[in-house]
Amino acid sequence: MFSGFNPPKYDVFLSFRGEDTRNNFTSHLYAALCRSNIKTFIDGFEVGKGDEISSSLSNAIQNSSLSIIVFSENYATSSWCLKELLRILECNKTKGLVILPVFYHVSPSDIRKQMETYGEAFAKHEKSFNKMNDNFRKWRDALIEVANLSGWDLNQYDRSESEFVEKIVKDVLNRLNHKSSGDHLHGLVGIASSIERVESLLCNGMTEIRIIGIWGMGGIGKTTIARAIFNRIANQFEAVCFLANVRDDAKNGLNHLQEKLLFEILGEQNQNMNTFTLNRLHRKKILVVLDDVDDSEHLKVLIGDYLSLFGLGSRIIITSRDRQVLKNGVDEVYEVEGLNYDEALQLFSANAFKQSHPPKDYMDLSGIVISYANDNPLALKVFGCFLFGRTKLEWKSSLDKLKKCLNSEIQNMLRISYDGLDDKEKEIFLFIACFFKGEERGRVTAILDGCGLFTEIGISGTSAVESKSLDLSQISELYLSPDSFMTMPRLKLLKLYNWHKEMDFKVQLICEGLPDELRYLSWHGYPLKSLPFKFNPTHLVELEMYESNIQHLWKDTKFLGNLRRIGLFKCKQLTEVPDLSQAPNLQIMQLHSCSSLTKFPKISWNLNKLNLSYTAIEEVPASAIESLNKLVTLNIRYNTRIKNLPTSMRHLTSLRSLSLDGCSNITKFPEISGEITFLSLSETAIEEVPNSAIASLSKIVTLDICYNTRLKNLPSMRRLTSLKTLFLHGCSNLAKFPEMSDEITDLSLSETAIENVPSFVECFTNLRRLSLSHCRRLKRVSSSIFQLKLVSSLDLTGCSQLEDLPEVLENKEKLFSLYLERSALKTLPSSIVLLPQLSILVMRDCKNLESLPNSLCNLTNLSRLDLSVCSGVGKMLENVLLSSSSSCLCSLRDLILSDCNMLELPSALSCLSSLDCLSLKGNKFESLSLTLFTSLRRLDISYCERLQYLQEFPLPSHLEYLDASHCTSLETLPDTDVVSTKICGSNQCFKYYNCWKLEEKACINIQTDAQIRIQLMANNAQNGRVGVKFYFPGREIPGWINYRCKGSSLTIDLPPHWYSNKLFGFVLCIVASNESSSNRGSSIVDCKCSFIDSDNCEWQENTYLLISISEHPKWYQKSTYMLKSNSQYPKSDRESTYLFLQSYSTLSKYSFCKKARFHFSPSKDCCKVKKCGVHLVYSELEDESTESTRGAIAKEDREEEYFDSESEEINALCRSAQGRTKG
């Protein structure tokens, strides 16, 4: 799955004449491309006339998929642009670079014939160059060639320039999609089927949030698959983020990964998890890849808390070597298998011979290498690169080394590559591998340079370098004698780390000194109160003492000419920092959460970043701060003792970012330099923002003053033309809509006291995001709000006094979502039809709603409509649907009508031909028919406590998800008939939780329906992991399950020839109860499967999450299939059956085994597994004689029980279904 192919670094390269279009058309085009997640290169400057284009620019062209050339009036006057054009054409011919010309106020004909300004430009060039000059001729030919290509001509477009830009972006997306449909696989071996399988699991057409895990050993190709899929589908999402190397980066703390994730998604730094940020997440369809995750806690921190906030249709892909990490957090897990022999040979040959197959005389040797690599792509690539260009003798010598390896693990086999390095290269390799994997290059270079390893120019010097690294989490006790480190006088790198602070770790440490040669000292959890008194830190480059017990470092002022970075994160006992005024190269100081630190440190003037957040510093002295004239970032968040900042801060002209969030005693707006670009004052006690203070912030880009409850007014900010983002949410006494420059792009006024949105809002022509949610005094909104061309989402959730929505006066193409939840609206304006692109309309809990306009049915792009908790809405919706004679709401896929007190389902809903998901949760139906819906895939009727009958059973084959949980009156289901032979969807789930009144016959119908669906799923399934899940009341394992027993463990004798290519997998089934009255938390039930051969050797198969049982009845989390038990039934006499189809792709390696053992283990004592069962599923039913050989022998540690064979009635149903399938 690897190759030498590298995907282009950029999607688009922009070529343009800066003086013509940089600050207008091109900047708008660049912004639009970025908004569509198209990675675009734009040059930040132009060199003088006649200069050669830079190598970086040339490389950017070469590493792009497509180039947009903006031809403007003066394009040809620049020899720079013309040379750039030649390079683009060269890459078009050699690299397949796609060219898209854009003619901006120029005619393609003028360019081809070199007329008008192009003719004048070439007349000037003619004076500088001989007409016969080769470059001169190439320029002319290049212009003619590109001007003949199909492109976009503004002069031929009769609509606005912004619409012209959007059309270009759409064209670019189409071209990139077409190009990438093959490019993402170019040079990649054995990856196409894996991409297809993972994409099928992603179910990209579904609106629910899905999480997919990619699991496999190191080097098997997980990252390659994830990256290929990411590149292939990224442009289908509003925001994307690929977090690589999470396992390594997480060792430096998760905060920066969290910040990076939010930055990539929201496009801005320093995002706080406030209401506005959360709302913005909720509105976005997001694609996130978390690569190489090894800790389930990392998943919880990075996405667990935000998962419910991601927009509809969001997708998360997680790669991991650890199945346990994935089991609790994903919908599906895809197991990456090794390459087959032909694929392995092709990949190895590509790296060893630079061709698809080995030469004939190397075929046998290549076969040996492939067998050693065990189908692992990384091993094949490393071996191939190492053996490239070597003789047969060298090949045989290397293979002899591999043959003698006692440990066949690939990691050990890869040592052969390491042995090929010379001694000095090994030295640098080991430093990076052991200490600095995943670190920033500049940081590593500084430390290694301090060790005498000059990384930029090669290695010089002869002194040996020693290093020690110890993972404290791997030991329980550590004893260090006084001279433990002094016996290593040349020690330069020392790293002791412990990422699991909760472990019981005993330390006996008497440390009188550390080697003075230390350059890098990292000791997490350092147990002593200070560094050894004999230690001289003169050579230190970096000091890290995270989460340590240290109270002070050293006493005296020392000259520390090499020190560049100090990290004392969460050193809660630290009371003072030494005088660091003699550390002239110190650039970064991290004192975050040093909660006992009360004094501002004395620091060198060269400091670049200072973090004092969550400290107890009482004052920022003017004398200390005014010398920091190179300070760029200052963070003093959540310091509750500081009351004011010195006025001398206005002299810090390098300061760009100042964070004072949570400094609840700061009452005055700080005096700061006008060079600042980011200022956060949220949750302070500021009562007033002076005119003079605001006027001085001429370069401010982001201003955050949210949750300042004392703030009542703001001065005019119309002159702050750099201000793009203004956060005022939570300023509950702010009653006046702020005056701002029309350059503003993000504005949050949620939870403020504003009473109206004035008409001048239409002046904010660049505004893209506007939040007005929970403005409980808001009574009037000007119709100008619908004239904001770039606002795609309008949130008026919780505006409980807003009774009317203004009329839409003109067509607004850009508004995609409208949130009116818990407002006081009585109806919608009929002019809502002038929002043709509206796809999401949420009116949940609008208790005053009286009617809906008939024009609603003309919203042809509306895909999600939420009218939950709106009494009488059934009749309103039926009136709307009956008013239309043509197709109505033709794109509506999701309809939410939960808790609407409906007694019956409106028959007019049958006209919703595209309806995919329907929620009728909590209504008052007594019976329900599904014949109205011909394409419904997901149905939620949970908590319909009066529902007694489902009029159709078995369920329609196109239905993939049904939640009938807590339908406590549901008694009967019609008799089962054979379902359709076609089963839609690779994952199906049907819940009849707490349906305790279901008659015995109804439960049998459910079981039979489950059996037939499982068999047909196996018959129809394509490659890829699939699943069927049924949950229903019951005390018995269904009779058609072959192997059954009491208790939680089961050992079966596998029938002769049990494995064949038609074996699909197992049905796993348990009967479980909740025997606790505490009703706390959830219990996860795992199934551990192992296979046993004739010598009683046992092979453990991977652990699979079967089910999770919780006592919170109304909480359902899709991502982990969490099933919730009603807290009113805690006793053991309430038992449910959980049935789960699991397909396996690795059973072939156990084909020689004679037995299989299954153990079902709840994670908590409150859950009791009473019975369990297992059933082998084949893709086609065997005949009865073969089936009878699969006799059931169930064994349990404590007792053994036999059950009757399958009933003839169920066998007949399966044979009937199978016959129809074959027919």
Over residues 313-351, the pLDDT tens digits come to 889 999 988 887 887 678 888 888 777 777 788 888 888
How high is the pLDDT of residue 470? Answer: 56
Q: Residue written as tokens 């089927």?
A: 193
What span, in angstroms and rounded, lies between the C-alpha atoms of 310 and 328?
19
How high is the pLDDT of residue 940? Answer: 92
Query: Mean per-residue pLDDT for 1031-1057?
Result: 89
Could you tell me which residue, 310 or 1116, shows the higher pLDDT?
310
Residue 113 pLDDT more than 90? no
How high is the pLDDT of residue 1196? Answer: 35
Residue 1046 banded pLDDT, cuts 50, 70, 90: very high
What span, in angstroms and rounded, lies between the C-alpha atoms of 720 and 696?
9
Query: Mean per-residue pLDDT for 1098-1126?
Result: 45
Could you tell me which residue, 1196 or 392, shows the higher pLDDT?
392
Stretch (H or E) spanning 621: none
How high is the pLDDT of residue 700? Answer: 92
Residues 6+ apart with CB under 8 A from 806: 781, 782, 783, 785, 786, 829
Query: Mean per-residue pLDDT for 270-291?
Result: 66
Stretch (H or E) spanning 1172: strand 1167-1178
How high is the pLDDT of residue 1019? Answer: 78
How high is the pLDDT of residue 71? Answer: 93
Residue 920 banded pLDDT, cuts 50, 70, 90: very high
Tokens of 349: 């040959």
Mean pLDDT is highest, among 373-382, 430-439, 889-898, 1086-1095, for 889-898
Could you tell me which residue, 608 or 495, shows the higher pLDDT?
608
Contact assessment for residue 48 and residue 77, using Cβ atoms and an 8 Å cutoff:
no
Contact assessment for residue 275 and residue 230, using Cβ atoms and an 8 Å cutoff:
no
Contact assessment for residue 1142 and residue 1027, using Cβ atoms and an 8 Å cutoff:
yes
- C-alpha separations of 558 from 62, 186, 592 in Å: 51, 57, 23
**What pairing do the DSSP bridges indicate for beta strands 1167-1178 and 1063-1074?**
antiparallel
Could you tell me which residue, 1070 or 1143, shows the higher pLDDT?
1070
The 10s digit of each residue's pLDDT in 242-265 is 888 888 777 777 777 877 787 777
How high is the pLDDT of residue 453? Answer: 46
Contact assessment for residue 241 and residue 289, using Cβ atoms and an 8 Å cutoff:
yes
- Name the E strands within 984-1048: 987-991, 1027-1033, 1043-1046
Q: Residue written as tokens 């009144």?
A: 997
1201 catalytic residue (yes or no):
no
% of the chain with per-residue pLDDT over 70: 76
Which of 46, 73, 84, 1111 is flagged as catalytic? Answer: 84
Closest CA to 72 of 25, 105, 101, 49: 105
Cis peptide before 954 (omega within 30 of 0): yes
The Cβ-side half-sphere exposure at 441, using a 13 Å CA radius, reads 2
Closest CA to 624 of 612, 637, 614: 612
The string over 16-36, giving b where at least 16 C-beta atoms fall within 10 Å of a residue's C-beta and e elsewhere, is bbbebbbeebbebbbbbbebb
- The region of weakest confidence among 211-215, 530-534, 628-632 is 530-534
Residues 6+ apart with CB under 8 A from 614: 592, 593, 594, 595, 637, 638, 639
How high is the pLDDT of residue 481? Answer: 53
| Whole-number average pLDDT of the chain | 77
What span, in angstroms and rounded, lies between the C-alpha atoms of 740 and 765?
12
What span, in angstroms and rounded, lies between the C-alpha atoms of 1195 and 1091?
14
Q: Residue written as tokens 């818990």?
A: 822
Stretch (H or E) spanning 1143: strand 1135-1143
The string over 893-922, giving b where at least 16 C-beta atoms fall within 10 Å of a residue's C-beta and e elsewhere, is bbbbbbbbebeebbebbebbeebbbbbbbb
Provide the 3-class DSSP secondary structure of residue 1205.
coil
How high is the pLDDT of residue 130? Answer: 59
Mean pLDDT is highest, among 584-593, 1072-1081, 1143-1152, for 584-593
Residues 6+ apart with CB under 8 A from 799: 772, 773, 774, 775, 776, 778, 822, 823, 824
How high is the pLDDT of residue 414? Answer: 47
What span, in angstroms and rounded, lies between the C-alpha atoms of 1009 and 998?
15
Closest CA to 677 of 700, 705, 652: 700
- Let me know the angle formed at the C-alpha of 249 by 568 and 65, rounded to the nearest 5 degrees: 135
How high is the pLDDT of residue 371? Answer: 76
- Classify the C-alpha dihedral 7-12-16-21 as positive or negative: negative
Residue 433 banded pLDDT, cuts 50, 70, 90: very low
What span, in angstroms and rounded, lies between the C-alpha atoms of 675 and 697?
7
How high is the pLDDT of residue 886? Answer: 66
How high is the pLDDT of residue 1194? Answer: 35
% of the chain with per-residue pLDDT over 90: 17
Query: Mean per-residue pLDDT for 897-902?
Result: 92
Contact assessment for residue 476 and residue 502, using Cβ atoms and an 8 Å cutoff:
no
Residue 1200 pLDDT more than 60? no
Contact assessment for residue 709 and residue 733, using Cβ atoms and an 8 Å cutoff:
yes
- C-alpha separations of 227 from 2, 214, 793 in Å: 12, 12, 30
The span from the first CA to the last CA of the chain, in angstroms, equals 39
Residues 6+ apart with CB under 8 A from 502: none
- The region of weakest confidence among 52-61, 403-412, 1048-1057 is 403-412
Could you tell me which residue, 452 or 737, shows the higher pLDDT?
737
Query: Mean per-residue pLDDT for 856-885?
Result: 87
The string over 685-712, giving b where at least 16 C-beta atoms fall within 10 Å of a residue's C-beta and e elsewhere, is bbeebeeebbebbeebbbbbbbbbeebe
How high is the pLDDT of residue 1021? Answer: 63
- The region of weakest confidence among 171-180, 360-369, 779-788 is 171-180
The 10s digit of each residue's pLDDT in 654-693 is 999 999 999 999 989 988 988 999 999 999 999 888 888 8
- Let me know the angle formed at the C-alpha of 1208 by 1207 and 1209, rounded to the nearest 5 degrees: 90
Residue 286 pLDDT more than 80? yes
- C-alpha separations of 50 from 118, 127, 440 in Å: 18, 13, 37
Residue 182 banded pLDDT, cuts 50, 70, 90: very low
Residue 124 banded pLDDT, cuts 50, 70, 90: confident
How high is the pLDDT of residue 513? Answer: 66
- Classify the C-alpha dihedral 261-267-273-279 as positive or negative: negative
Closest CA to 568 of 542, 589, 541, 539: 589
Beta partners for residue 12, in sequence order? 40, 66
What span, in angstroms and rounded, lies between the C-alpha atoms of 203 and 985?
9
Residue 1079 banded pLDDT, cuts 50, 70, 90: very low
Could you tell me which residue, 1105 or 974, shows the higher pLDDT?
974
Tokens of 759: 């008409």
- C-alpha separations of 850 from 827, 871, 873, 901, 904 in Å: 6, 9, 8, 15, 19
Tokens of 75: 């394009």
pTM over 0.75: no
